[in-house]
Each structure stands twice: as C-alpha cells, then as structure tokens.
Amino acid sequence: MESNKPNNENSQDQGQKTPNSSNTNTQSRERRPNPHRQNNTPNKQGQNSENRQNNQSNNANRKPNNNPNRKPNPNKDVNGNVHDKEVNGNKKPNNNQNRNNNNSQNRKPNPNAKPNNRPSNNKSGGNKGRGRKKNVTTVNDTMRASIEENARVKDATMNPWKQIDIASKGKIRFTPLGGLGEIGGNMAVLETETTAIIIDVGMSFPDETMHGVDILVPDFSYLHTLKDKKVFVIITHGHEDHIGAMPYLFKELKFPIYATPLALAMIENKFNEHGLKADTKYFNFVTIRKQYQLGDMKIEWMHNTHSIIDACSLAIETPAGTIIHTADFKIDHTPVDGYTMDLHRYAYYGSKGVLCLFSDSTNSHNPGYTKSETVVGKTFDTLFDLAKGRVIMSTFSSNVHRIFQAMERGVKHGRKICVIGRSMERNVETNRALGFVDIDDKHFIEVHEVPKYSENEILIVTTGSQGETMAALNRMATDEHRHIKLKPSDTVIISASAIPGNEGSVSKLMNLLVKAGVTVRYREFADIHVSGHAGQEEQKLILRLVQPKFFLPVHGEYNHIAKHAQTAISCGVDKRNILLMSDGDQVEITPKFIKKVKTVKSGKTYIDNQNNMTIENDVVLDRQKLAEDGIINVVAQIAQSNQKIVGKLVISTHGLVPDKEDKKFSKEIEVLIETMLLNMKPEALKDHRNVENEIRAVIRKHVVRTKKRYPLIIPTIFIV
C-alpha cells in the first residue's frame, strides 16, 4: 500500500492546461449538455480510434481540438449549441452589431476558421441610426490568439478520460448480484483475470407475499465460481443494505474483509450474534486516502457524507483503467462532524481519466440538492422548545449523526437520555466506544430510572420509526412496553420517512400514537428528516468531477437508474457509453468498450430472523399458494377390486369455501373422484402415486372452473 500523491499535484498537472478555474466555470456554463457533441462516432470501435486521435492531438500537438463541433465558443449560441455558421458570433466574445452583416454573407462552415473576431472598425453600418456613437471593442491579433488559446484549454480540460491508454489490453468484469431492480441488498463483483473484489454484502426486505420471511440475502452461487482468483470483500459503509448479509456469506465462504472501523465494528456485532466471533481475523481496517493493493487492483476509500458515519466511496485502479464507485452518498457541505465529502479525490482521479463511474441512483428523481443533516438539528431545537413533557425520538438506529443531534439538544434542554431498543442501544454503544458520539456518561439513564425524573427532563431515543411491530416504539404505542407507558403530555418525534414498502406499517404506527393521545411530530415539519442520498445536482457534480468515459448507474430500481442515466447524458456522458443493468448481468469493460457478456445466477435467499435460518424457496412458494388460493386435503381408501372408495372419504378445505358450504363442496369432490375411479384402467389403480396425481388433476380442473383458484391439493391415498 502506498500513499497517494497530494491533491495539489493534480492541479499542477492541470496547470498547464487550465490557467484558472474561472475558465472551467465559463466553460461549464456555456457547454450545455449536448450528447451528440461529446463523442460523435458511428460505433464503439470507431469511436475509440477517433478518441485516441483526439487525445494525441490534444496532448502532443496541442492544437485546438480537431473535432469541428468542439470549436471555441465564438461558434456557439447562448445555449451552447454549435452552429456551422458563425451566426452567433455576435453574442460573444465581442458584442458587435456589425456581425449581423457578416453573418448575412452566408459563410460555409469551416472547422479551421478562426473565430470571427474581425476588428469592428472596418464596419460602421451596425451603428447607424442609433443617435450616438457606441463604444466598440477592438479585437486585435493578440486578443484573438488569447481567445483561441483559452478555448483550446477549455477543450483540453473536457473529457480527461481521453488520456486513458486505449491500446491497453486490460479488461475487467462487473457483475451486480443485488441492488439493481431494487432498493437495498447491494452486492457486486468486480474482477480481473486474477482478482475479484466483492463490493458490499447487503440484505433487503421481503415484500408482503413472502410470508414468514424477515430478510432477504443475495444468492451467493456466483461467488463459488471465483475460487481460482484472489477474492476480497470490500465494504463501503455499515448500513444493513451493505453489510446485512455478511454473516450469511461467511457461513458459506470466507474472504479477507476491508472496511472502515465503524463498518467493521457493525459487522463484528453481527458475527458475534451468529457465532462467527473467530472470523474477525479476516478484518482489515482501512485508512481513507490510502491505496490498498489487493491482487492486481489498487483501492482507495474516499470519505463521503451519508446517513451513517464512516461512509466511503471507492477509487479502484484496475488493469483496464480507474473505476470510481460512489456507493451511497450525498454531498453535505455542513455535516454534523464537520468532515465534508472528499471531493478533492474525485477531482484528482477525474483529472487523471476515469474509465467508468458507478453511482448511487436512489434519489435520482429528486431535482436539486438533498439538504444537509444539520437542518434536522435546528428542527429538533424547535420541537424541544415546544415539548412540555417527555420527548420520545425515533429514527434509524444507524443514523448516528441524527441520534447525536437529538441527544445534544436534549442535554441542552436539561433532559436525561434513555436509549431503548436493541439495535439502538447497540449502535449508540458502538459509536460511543469509537468516539463518534461524544456525550458524557452522566447524561444517560437506564429505562427503570425514567420515573425518577420529571417529564420535561426526559429524552427517550428509540427504534421503530418504520413501524416495525417488534420495535420499542410500537410496543409503547400498543401499551405493551414494560417500562414506558405513553401519556398525553408526551411528544413523539418520528425523524425518518417510510422506506418504500413500509408505508403501511408507518401509517399503522401513526394511528396508534394519535389514539394514545400523544403529540406526534412527523412530516408537518419539513426538516424533521433529510435523505442520505444525493439529488440530481449532487449527482451532476460527481459526474462533472469524474467525467468518466463509461457510466453505470447503480443502487436503485430500473426507473431510478434510467433517470440517473438521463442526468449523466445531460452532463456529457455519451448515451452509448451507459448501460442499464439488472442483477446477474455481467458486463465487460475495456478502455475501448463496455458490453454485456452474460447473465449469472442471482436472486434472493429467504431468512427467518427468529432462528437466523434459511427458508427454502418451495416453502415460501407453498405459503404464497396457501395464502392466495387455499388448500384441499383428501384422504381416501380405494378398493382395487371394485374401483370404489372404501368407507368415508375425508375432505378438508381451508381458504377456499366458507364453512357453511363445506359439505356441498366436499360432495362435489366426492362425486368427481368416484367417477374418475370408475373410468380408470385397473392396472393404473395399482400405483397409489398415479391415483393421487389423477385426483389432483381432476380436483384442480373443477376448482379452476368453478372458483378460478389454484389451491394446494394434497391427496393421500391407500389402495386396499
């Protein structure tokens, strides 16, 4: 592992090309998105040879970009659209009325033409009739040369990915195994010929059709195929949807894990729960701004801002080129701990040329910026001022900055802090141990001490903001909590928004709280919660800092990644260089192209949290069938001699017909079976399995016809 060059080396490199930053500003304002202009190539192969030419000419000859469409700004209108004719030369750089005359001469496009900055004192017609003489700008050769030079430098600073060695034979493969087509469950594999890194191992939540399933973990089948490579697990941050499946992975496969301290501490908590304590020997604590050589890849963790502490993006140097993976992020310029996102590193890698950017698409539909976490603190101030009795604050147990802000406000308002809820207690304890929550012990009390204080001296920080039935807040709301009974004087703050899929349970919780008579503070205060994910303007900033050749929007359902792709196109990424992927897709990326090469096995494994065990697929399918279509049990003895039912046929149904119709329905089934038996060939009756299949078929046909349902049909037959 070696230390990176300091940032300013980057600006030194760039210094030759970019005299000052205002150029870049001007440039980005004028160069409005025009995807057709970025890489005007007929196909990927052709594009690359041309890119190389552009690259060479930029670097070696230092001539203005020989792409006619990239000519300096005198050829562009205010929207940045390029015109073959110099129609808009009058707008800038010299606002010269005489231009109109020039333009009317209908010049032919000439990519090699100099900007139309002819000294204006040649002309006078444009000022006629104005009543007074106008000040006219004289553009002499020196000025024209300067304009051209600035335009050339601007061109040269765009698309630094053109520096990538197109002749390189390096290639990598990227395979998302979770997190695409869904929010959560993030896991992906990036591999070279000899090395594979597994980026995050997250869990997700089931939908309402997955009865009895508590969490979903990605299918690890593909990881078993990597055994000939050096494999490493790379963790970006400690959220459940990035580390939640780690214990399940380690029960199947074990690899060295690289992550920041908080993420590893949270994984350790999980390993302890799952009896994997010994596996902490696989832990490697990383330092940000350092490169780690893992196989033939070099990885740097870059500090970012998100709704958890110690979150990072990744810069990965591979044989094919540099990959930037933002992981989850937002760009918070005023974070609670003062440590802003390390945008310098993005700029550093961006200026060296980035082959491909993978970026968080969660909030890609949100225009503008996501607000800073600190705005929530101000809201807490207001809410604490308003609260007369106890304050009960609930948020995600991993959002330590949120929790810290509430605690800090609580202390300021003379309240003692009581932390309730297993995951909240554990996370607060871990973050205090690591020094991320700096609040003195004397401010904390145990739950049994709460009654010792007056109501306005209590702040309870608890779990359950998603309406989870087992969480502390829900148990308080249903009056099932052992220690905390809600009172009308209480203020309950829900500092969260419902994760997609949890809206119903959050609404249920609201109803319970309102019924209990407490003051509920939720969405009526706009800044009671802010997202941890970047809005469009932040996504654009990353796209512009990195300026990648290829772009893969990740983390989101299809509509999220599609929207992010549009944003990328508007920021100059060629739409042919963007792929919208699904879990299991494998793409190959080389300096020349990106293409899907195959699909590997992906999917979800169902987990029952009560025992941390896997639930087999067919069990979940049976449960779905039972819930949706009911069940029919048939037990019969059949005499082979006369092909008739012996004794009484037992038929029981559930979830199909109301009790009062049970008898009638059973009779129908009985008649069907009797008829079927009589029509069977005697030799077919010898095999009870055969008879069961026949019975199943005849009942299914009847039920589909009469009830339009597909119940689970279980015949048990004895041939006598």
Stretches 96-104, 255-263, 324-332, 362-370: which one binds Zn ion (CB under 5 A)? 324-332
**Which residue number, 189 or 311, has a Cβ lying nearer to Zn ion?**
311
Smallest distance from the beta carbon of 238 to Zn ion, in angstroms? 8
**Which residue number, 451 or 500, has a Cβ lying nearer to Zn ion?**
500
Tokens of 575: 């739409």
Smallest distance from the beta carbon of 244 to Zn ion, in angstroms? 11
Smallest distance from the beta carbon of 186 to Zn ion, in angstroms? 8
Q: Interface with Zn ion includes 332 (CB under 5 A)?
A: no
Give the SS3 label for residue 392: strand
Stretches 323-331, 406-414, 467-475, 656-664: which one binds Zn ion (CB under 5 A)? 323-331
**Which residue number, 328 or 629, has a Cβ lying nearer to Zn ion?**
328
Stretches 328-336, 418-426, 591-599, 703-711: which one binds Zn ion (CB under 5 A)? 328-336
Give the SS3 label for residue 597: strand
**DSSP codes joined into one string, 664-697:** HHHHHHHHHHHHHHHHS-GGGGG-HHHHHHHHHH
What track of x and - describes contact with Zn ion for positions 420 through 449 (by CB under 5 A)?
Answer: ------------------------------
For 470, other C-beta atoms within 10 Å of its C-beta total 12
Work out the burial of residue 614: count CB atoms within 10 Å of its CB; fewer than 13 is exposed, 13-18 middle, 19 or more buried. middle
**Which residue number, 44 or 426, has a Cβ lying nearer to Zn ion?**
426
**Which residue number, 328 or 342, has a Cβ lying nearer to Zn ion?**
328
Q: Reduced to 3 DSSP states, what percent helix, strand and coil does the chain have, rounded to the nearest 5?
A: 40, 20, 40
Work out the burial of residue 217: count CB atoms within 10 Å of its CB; fewer than 13 is exposed, 13-18 middle, 19 or more buried. buried
Strand partners, 316: 299, 323
**Which residue number, 244 or 377, has a Cβ lying nearer to Zn ion?**
244
According to CB under 5 A, which one of 191, 300, 317, 328 is a site residue for Zn ion? 328
**Which residue number, 93 or 202, has a Cβ lying nearer to Zn ion?**
202
**Which residue number, 144 or 237, has a Cβ lying nearer to Zn ion?**
237
Stretches 150-158, 236-244, 263-271, 621-629: which one binds Zn ion (CB under 5 A)? 236-244
Q: Interface with Zn ion includes 239 (CB under 5 A)?
A: yes
Smallest distance from the beta carbon of 504 to Zn ion, in angstroms? 23
**DSSP codes joined into one string, 347-387:** HHHHHH--SEEEEE-TTTT--S-PPPTHHHHHHHHHHHHH-
**Which residue number, 310 or 574, has a Cβ lying nearer to Zn ion?**
310
Tokens of 396: 């995600």
Dihedral sign for Cα atoms in the order 28, 29, 34, 37: negative
What is the Cα–Cα distance from 399 to 254, expressed in whole angstroms? 29
Compute how many residues bind Zn ion; rule: CB under 5 A.
Answer: 2
**Which residue number, 270 or 390, has a Cβ lying nearer to Zn ion?**
270
Smallest distance from the beta carbon of 202 to Zn ion, in angstroms? 9
Tokens of 365: 């539909």
Smallest distance from the beta carbon of 532 to Zn ion, in angstroms? 6
Smallest distance from the beta carbon of 306 to Zn ion, in angstroms? 5
**Which residue number, 173 or 555, has a Cβ lying nearer to Zn ion?**
555
Distances (CA, A) of 645 to 199, 285, 460, 631, 672: 61, 71, 67, 22, 12
Q: Interface with Zn ion includes 402 (CB under 5 A)?
A: no
**DSSP codes joined into one string, 211-250:** TT--EEEE--HHHHTTTTSEEEEE-----HHHHTTHHHHH
Q: Is 320 in contact with 168 (CB distance < 8 Å)?
A: yes
Stretches 280-288, 321-329, 491-499, 648-656: which one binds Zn ion (CB under 5 A)? 321-329
Smallest distance from the beta carbon of 265 to Zn ion, in angstroms? 16
Q: Phi/psi of residue 455, each to 5°? A: -60, -40
What is the Cα–Cα distance from 196 to 192, expressed in whole angstroms? 6
Smallest distance from the beta carbon of 398 to Zn ion, in angstroms? 8
Give the SS3 label for residue 283: strand
Smallest distance from the beta carbon of 242 to Zn ion, in angstroms? 6
Task: Give the interface with Zn ion as residue ranges (CB under 5 A).
Answer: 239, 328
